Structure 1
């Protein structure tokens, strides 16, 4: 029996064509209270920068928003949804709305139902709460959530609570009727290929939209055609877009980069060695933002630090006061800003900040 519900045709088409989807941070005041005004401003920023979607309630938004002590999952989802509704009413673009979904099955289904009730189109499904489950149990969990919202699969890197997921799992995941996309974010080339092979073996290549979450390899992921053999034929797939924490900052430049990559893929611009250099430059920025030097301990704090410096956030703090910039991380971020000024969008933010905060 087919799973339900399904995404609207325009959402399906947008995902398959490929787009920029920032992983939405959480806005807090200097004293740690939820800052709805700046949360809304962030959503406006992403829309104005040209993003084609937003992902809310995901790792960059901080999983702790679900803790009863904070109770922020619904308010955060609602704030972003209301901001997007306002943008559409005012003649702005329609953005794909992705909600993070996590936890054991009962919790994940509740979160999926909440997201669907608030107008979200797909659930980015983390499996980190099921570290010992075998593939059969994981897929039963996925199908239960798919009964509430279309699925955006998520291969999360093990450094931040992800778990290994093999080719067979991804083949069977892709066979779920209303699985619409997969975020490939293991930060591992071998495991990235497991997803590509699994989707090819499912027979749904081209139907399941592949998105990079490998913030350490963004440009090369977007440029590479992946050719595999499935059913005796050669199957070519592309990672068509990105759902990235890295793209939560300097988003205007990310959209421009994505448009350039798409022009190369379409054959209207040549593939040059400079693009490979650009891949390394973006990774250099990401190493500072995500705190690779300390096992990604400061990845959320690094993003917040940049947004605070631009004025989009009133504070760079996280819900957990122990989650902060690592030693030397601020200096590394300052260095990549100096080395790669063309990859930042401070002028764009400064020009529009008052408008987004209004």
Structure 2
């Protein structure tokens, strides 16, 4: 499956791609009505895509007792089709597991019209890097790949510069999400892409929820064979953008305008970035090593009326002590970064 010219342009120019949560009923069944409504919220918010079946959607959806992976992909795809958008919209499917599972998920994603597979290497920590590269090639033979550097705190692993050199050389790799939450490791990916013959074909997206605005404002430059090559994070695929998405779209538009205007007003945006990081610390539960990161996203959506509760398939996923109070604090401190009024109007149309 190939990306259309229109979708490739959007991917390369950059956009807002929220990581889609899973909406459950109190008895841990899929809440189809609210699941669909949440997708519509992202569409109405002006997002340029959505990522489904990813960490924020809960990896447990793949377990046989739940069997929800294909269902949640299908529901989101149906809502995107029903919206009849007059603009391109990127559908990204989360893909994980050993090669047989990952290839199977890629085929499922293609079946439901997904454009890219966000390929997580989590859970493969005992594989050497050459085996990982071979794994990526097999998945890329089925669906265009959106690479994913996942931080170790939530199941990822450290990957070498050499790995990213090999990764960037794979023809059907179209983008990479860097969620290393680490500047050194982030730099490894950007430098490896810049030194690749495919450097202008691979779009970089930030997944560094701790550094969103600064990532989007930063230009990287390297000399390669006597040529100066520049690269930047053109957009974001973020769990943080699963909440307050309308405000995120507005902020992203400000960042793009700042870049286009020669970075006029950059200082104010960097200050805004500190505020975004503070908000992320609350919803992602940084104080407790990200224990409540999914529950924190759910709590914001619950307060807005987009979810009924914060239930997760894994009973250990819950808010940490004091996390709700931290969410209270940041919402009060940064009212310009939330979209409660937009959501209220949206729900009022039902």
> C-alpha distance in 2, partners of 1:42/1:272?
32
Q: Deviations over 1:49-100 (max 9, x none)?
A: 0100000000000000000011000110000000000012xx4543100000
Alignment counterpart, residue 114 of structure 2, candidates 108, 111, 120: 120
> C-alpha distance in 2, partners of 1:283/1:41?
27
Relative contact order (C-alpha < 8 Å, sep 6+): which is higher? 1
> C-alpha distance in 1, partners of 2:225/2:135?
28
> C-alpha distance in 2, partners of 1:50/1:320?
31
Q: What TM-score, normalized by structure 2, do the two folds share?
A: 0.98
**Mapping of residues 41-120 of structure 1, within 5 Å:** 41-88=37-84, 91-120=85-114
1:13 maps to 2:9: yes
1:310 maps to 2:279: no
The residue number in structure 1 matching 2:187 is 193
> C-alpha distance in 1, partners of 2:46/2:159?
33
**Mapping of residues 111-260 of structure 1, within 5 Å:** 111-260=105-254
> C-alpha distance in 1, partners of 2:80/2:86?
9
Listed as ranges, the gaps of 5+ residues in structure 1 are: none
Listed as ranges, the gaps of 5+ residues in structure 2 are: none
> C-alpha distance in 1, partners of 2:348/2:105?
33
Alignment coverage as a number of residue pairs: 350
Q: Deviations over 1:194-233 (max 9, x none)?
A: 0001101112222100000000000000000011222232
Change (3 A) 1:313 1:92: farther
> C-alpha distance in 2, partners of 1:257/1:329?
25
CA RMSD in angstroms, aligned pairs only? 1.1
> C-alpha distance in 1, partners of 2:134/2:53?
23
1:333 maps to 2:327: yes
**Mapping of residues 27-42 of structure 1, within 5 Å:** 27-42=23-38
8 Å CA contact 1:226, 1:238 repeated in 2 = yes
> C-alpha distance in 1, partners of 2:14/2:136?
23
Q: CA deviation at 1:322?
A: 1.5
Q: CA deviation at 1:31?
A: 2.3
> C-alpha distance in 2, partners of 1:36/1:93?
26
8 Å CA contact 1:18, 1:240 repeated in 2 = yes
Alignment counterpart, residue 324 of structure 1, candidates 315, 318, 326: 318
Q: Deviations over 1:235-288 (max 9, x none)?
A: 110100000000000000000000000001111761342211111000000000
Q: What TM-score, normalized by structure 1, do the two folds share?
A: 0.96
SS for the counterpart of 1:257 is helix
8 Å CA contact 1:171, 1:200 repeated in 2 = no
